[in-house]
């Protein structure tokens, strides 16, 4: 039942494959499903959502607040005191806080300094940090850093998606490589069977010696062993590919036997990877997500350094509030009735503050070193990828010619063997070399595809 379900799902996802005995899953179709449905790709989107949530949380430090404080004491029919204090606070960007307050206190044993008129006392004013916390404070730093964290999350998301797609590409290439190897061994195993049958008939007719049948039989058995190994490699690579195939609701897909890789992948890879970006003159790493993430981290540390520098200043908090009993009349707010306060705090040695600042400076130096080394590493890796591509491309072209040459050589050896001028040993030897070079060609194609994808991964253009 599971196999049938998976097969039906595969039919829906891969454009009605049941109409042909063998259906091709192209690289573009495969990547389309990886980018759209793979759970890890979806998971990376949570990084951005998490950054946005942290930004929303940091903005909460600037939310207006209403505070109500009511305290009452009554004992033996005596009201000792009733104290009501309500406050509306409005934090601002700099170290300034606007406040509006209402107090209404009474009672037999109320502290005289808390005494208010019968209708209560209104006040409005401001609290200002004149030194430490004026132009940079914890609240401002947290919000600025949260905005940068969102940018950093976007850059990290691009890097993670880029890696997932690269791994998916390499898995597809490995599937293609193993499929081609399997077909190669199937073809030469069939050749060995046909050759054995022909030699047996020739032996029975008296045209070939018995030793030739033994050699042909040994050759067939070797081909059969190689074919079994190729089958195992193909099955494993197909299952690995299935790890990247999903549809809606996180439903995994399992590839059926009828689905095969695109044998023309090498001819379309430049189009899939956008070959215009793989030119050394067109590669620009200025906006590379890895560098961008490090630069954002540096900006975050710079804000932290400014905060630590600001903490070296003394704490000087000034409060001033206008007092009135008539909240409807703004003219009643004047300097004749007020409440003010001044708080000054300054550690003598500032050892904690100086230590924090030193640590912030060290972190900044460290990120500068990391930025420089990362940029050089990226440039060198790009140059290495470009040279790899050129080398594997040359190898692939040479091996294509070699395979054709060996095929022609074997045809000649077989004709000589048929007319009695050659030997079966030499035919088999030539065929072994042909198979080796055919497998080398397949591997060179795999390496060429992987190196081009690795370059796209390095410059981060796969997402």
User: What is the CATH classification number for the domain harbouring 162?
Assistant: 1.20.1600.10
Same domain for 202 and 328, yes or no, is: no
Q: Compute the distance between CA of residue 401 and CA of residue 409 in angstroms, rounded to an integer.
A: 12
Same domain for 101 and 177, yes or no, is: no
- Give the pLDDT score at 3: 36
Q: Is the pLDDT of residue 110 over 70?
A: yes
pTM (predicted TM-score): 0.82
Q: How confident is the model at residue 448 (pLDDT cuts 50, 70, 90)?
A: very high
- Give the pLDDT score at 367: 93
Average pLDDT of span 84-106: 89
Q: Compute the distance between CA of residue 222 and CA of residue 414 in angstroms, rounded to an integer.
A: 19
| 311 assigned to some structural domain | no
Place of tokens 């060429």: 448
Q: How confident is the model at residue 187 (pLDDT cuts 50, 70, 90)?
A: very high
Candidates 269, 267, 290; CA nearest to 278 is 269
**Range picked from 169-173, 337-341, 452-456 for highest mean pLDDT:** 169-173
| 58 assigned to some structural domain | no
Same domain for 288 and 162, yes or no, is: yes
Total domain count, the chain: 2
| CA 270 to each of CA 197, 356, 447: distance values in angstroms, whole numbers, following the listed order | 45, 52, 14
| 42 assigned to some structural domain | no
Structural domain of 110: 66-92+96-132+318-349
Per the model's pLDDT, the better-predicted residue between 249 and 436 turns out to be 436
Structure tokens at 220: 């067939």
Same domain for 207 and 108, yes or no, is: no
Angle subtended at Cα 299 by Cα 361 and Cα 295, rounded to the nearest 5 degrees: 105
Same domain for 114 and 260, yes or no, is: no
| 326 assigned to some structural domain | yes
Same domain for 195 and 285, yes or no, is: yes
Per the model's pLDDT, the better-predicted residue between 254 and 299 turns out to be 299
**Range picked from 169-183, 374-388, 415-429 for highest mean pLDDT:** 169-183
Same domain for 110 and 219, yes or no, is: no
Per the model's pLDDT, the better-predicted residue between 438 and 328 turns out to be 438
What are the pLDDT digits (tens) for 329-386? 767 777 778 888 888 988 888 898 899 899 999 999 999 999 999 999 999 999 999 9
Beta strands 338-345; 315-324: pairing state: antiparallel
Average pLDDT of span 407-412: 87
- Give the pLDDT score at 6: 42
Average pLDDT of span 192-197: 88
Q: What is the DSSP string of 180-222?
A: HHHHHHHHHHHHHHHHHHHHHHHHHTTSS-HHHHHHHHHHHHH
What are the pLDDT digits (tens) for 200-227? 888 888 777 888 888 888 989 999 999 9
Same domain for 329 and 404, yes or no, is: no
Angle subtended at Cα 77 by Cα 71 and Cα 83, rounded to the nearest 5 degrees: 15
Average pLDDT of span 418-431: 80
Same domain for 186 and 266, yes or no, is: yes
Same domain for 412 and 289, yes or no, is: yes
| 153 assigned to some structural domain | yes
Q: How many CB atoms lie within 10 A of CB 79?
A: 14
Same domain for 210 and 344, yes or no, is: no
| 48 assigned to some structural domain | no
CA 393 to chain centroid, in Å, comes to 29
Same domain for 324 and 290, yes or no, is: no
| 117 assigned to some structural domain | yes
Beta strands in 276-419 (DSSP E): 315-324, 338-345
| 337 assigned to some structural domain | yes
């Amino acid at each position: 039942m599971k196999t049938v379900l998976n097969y039906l799902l595969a039919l829906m996802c891969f454009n009605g494959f049941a109409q042909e005995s063998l259906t091709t899953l192209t690289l573009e179709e495969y990547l389309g499903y990886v980018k759209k449905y793979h759970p890890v790709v979806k998971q990376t989107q949570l990084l951005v959502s998490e950054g946005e949530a942290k930004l929303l949380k940091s903005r909460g430090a600037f939310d207006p607040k209403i505070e109500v404080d009511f305290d009452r004491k009554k004992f033996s029919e005596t009201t000792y005191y009733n104290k009501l204090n309500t406050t509306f606070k409005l934090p601002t960007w700099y170290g300034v806080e606007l406040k509006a307050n209402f107090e209404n206190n009474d009672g037999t044993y109320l502290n005289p300094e808390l005494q208010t008129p019968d209708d209560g006392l209104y006040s409005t004013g401001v609290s200002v940090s004149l030194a430490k916390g004026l132009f940079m404070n914890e609240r401002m730093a947290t919000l600025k850093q949260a905005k940068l964290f969102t940018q950093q999350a976007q850059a990290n998301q691009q890097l993670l998606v880029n890696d997932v797609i690269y791994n998916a590409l390499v898995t597809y290439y490995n599937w293609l490589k193993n499929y081609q190897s399997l077909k190669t061994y199937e073809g030469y195993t069939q050749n060995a069977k046909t050759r054995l049958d022909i030699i047996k008939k020739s032996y029975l007719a008296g045209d070939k010696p018995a030793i030739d049948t033994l050699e042909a039989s040994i050759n067939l058995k070797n081909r059969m062993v190689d074919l079994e190994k190729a089958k195992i490699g193909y099955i494993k690579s197909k299952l690995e590919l299935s790890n990247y195939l999903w549809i809606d609701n996180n439903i995994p897909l399992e590839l059926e036997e009828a689905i095969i890789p695109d044998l023309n992948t090498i001819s379309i890879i430049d189009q899939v990877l956008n070959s215009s970006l793989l030119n050394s003159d067109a590669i620009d790493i200025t906006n590379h997500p890895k560098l961008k993430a490090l630069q954002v981290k540096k900006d975050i540390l710079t804000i932290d350094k400014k905060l630590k520098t600001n903490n070296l200043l003394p704490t000087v908090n000034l409060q001033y509030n206008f007092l009135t009993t008539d909240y409807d009349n703004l003219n009643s707010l004047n300097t004749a009735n007020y409440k003010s306060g001044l708080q000054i705090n300054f550690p003598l040695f500032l050892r904690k503050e100086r230590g924090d600042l030193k640590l912030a400076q060290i972190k900044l130096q460290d990120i500068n070193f990391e930025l420089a080394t990362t940029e050089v590493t990226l440039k060198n890796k790009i140059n290495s990828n470009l040279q790899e591509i050129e080398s594997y491309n040359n190898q692939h072209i040479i091996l294509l010619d070699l395979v054709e040459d060996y095929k022609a050589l074997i045809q000649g050896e077989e004709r000589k063997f048929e007319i009695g001028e050659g030997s079966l040993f030499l035919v088999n030897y030539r065929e072994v070399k042909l198979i080796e070079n055919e497998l080398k060609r397949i591997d060179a194609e795999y390496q060429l595809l992987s190196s081009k994808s690795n370059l796209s991964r390095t410059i981060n253009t796969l997402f």
